[in-house]
A and B are shown apart, each in its own frame.
Chain A
Amino acid sequence: EDKVVQSPLSLVVHEGDTVTLNCSYEVTNFRSLLWYKQEKKAPTFLFMLTSSGIEKKSGRLSSILDKKELFSILNITATQTGDSAIYLCAAVYGGATNKLIFGTGTLLAVQP
Chain B
Amino acid sequence: GAVVSQHPSRVICKSGTSVKIECRSLDFQATTMFWYRQFPKKSLMLMATSNEGSKATYEQGVEKDKFLINHASLTLSTLTVTSAHPEDSSFYICSARDARGADETQYFGPGTRLLVL
Please tell me if the beta carbons of B104 and A99 are within 8 angstroms of each other in the complex.
no
Q: How far is the CA of A34 from the CA of B95 in the complex (A)?
A: 13
**Which B residues are closer than 8 A to A by beta carbons?**
2, 6, 32, 34, 42-46, 49, 57, 93, 95, 97, 103-111
Main secondary structure of the interface of A (DSSP, over half): strand
Please tell me if the beta carbons of A100 and B46 are within 8 angstroms of each other in the complex.
yes
Please tell me if the beta carbons of B43 and A105 are within 8 angstroms of each other in the complex.
yes
Q: How far is the CA of A98 from the CA of B108 in the complex (A)?
A: 15
CB distance from B79 to the nearest CB of A (A): 14
Which residues of the other chain, A, contact B103 by a CB distance below 8 angstroms? 48
- B109's partner among A32, A42, A103 (CB-CB below 8 A) is A42
Q: How far is the CA of A6 from the CA of B1 in the complex (A)?
A: 29
Please tell me if the beta carbons of B34 and A99 are within 8 angstroms of each other in the complex.
yes
CB distance from A26 to the nearest CB of B (A): 16
Which residues of the other chain, B, contact A102 by a CB distance below 8 angstroms? 43-45
Q: How far is the CA of A99 from the CA of B104 in the complex (A)?
A: 9
> If A32-B104, A48-B104, A105-B43 touch, does A98 touch B111 (CB 8 Å cutoff)?
no
**Which A residues are closer than 8 A to B by beta carbons?**
31-32, 34, 36, 41-45, 48, 50, 88, 90, 92, 97-105
Please tell me if the beta carbons of A42 and B108 are within 8 angstroms of each other in the complex.
yes
Q: List 6 extra interface pairs beyond A31-B104, A43-B44, A104-B43, CB under 8 A.
A: A36-B108, A44-B108, A45-B105, A97-B32, A101-B46, A102-B43
Which residues of the other chain, A, contact B104 by a CB distance below 8 angstroms? 31-32, 34, 48, 50, 92, 98
Please tell me if the beta carbons of A100 and B43 are within 8 angstroms of each other in the complex.
no
- B106's partner among A31, A50, A100, A104 (CB-CB below 8 A) is A100
Q: Across the two chains, which residue of chain B brings its CB closest to A107? A: B41
Q: Across the two chains, which residue of chain A brings its CB closest to B49? A: A97
Which residues of the other chain, B, contact A45 by a CB distance below 8 angstroms? 2, 105-108
Please tell me if the beta carbons of A42 and B111 are within 8 angstroms of each other in the complex.
yes
Which residues of the other chain, A, contact B109 by a CB distance below 8 angstroms? 42
Residue from A31, A45, A103, A104 with most neighbouring chain B CB atoms (10 Å): A45
> If A99-B46, A103-B43 touch, does A41 touch B105 (CB 8 Å cutoff)?
no
Residue from B6, B34, B43, B93 with most neighbouring chain A CB atoms (10 Å): B43
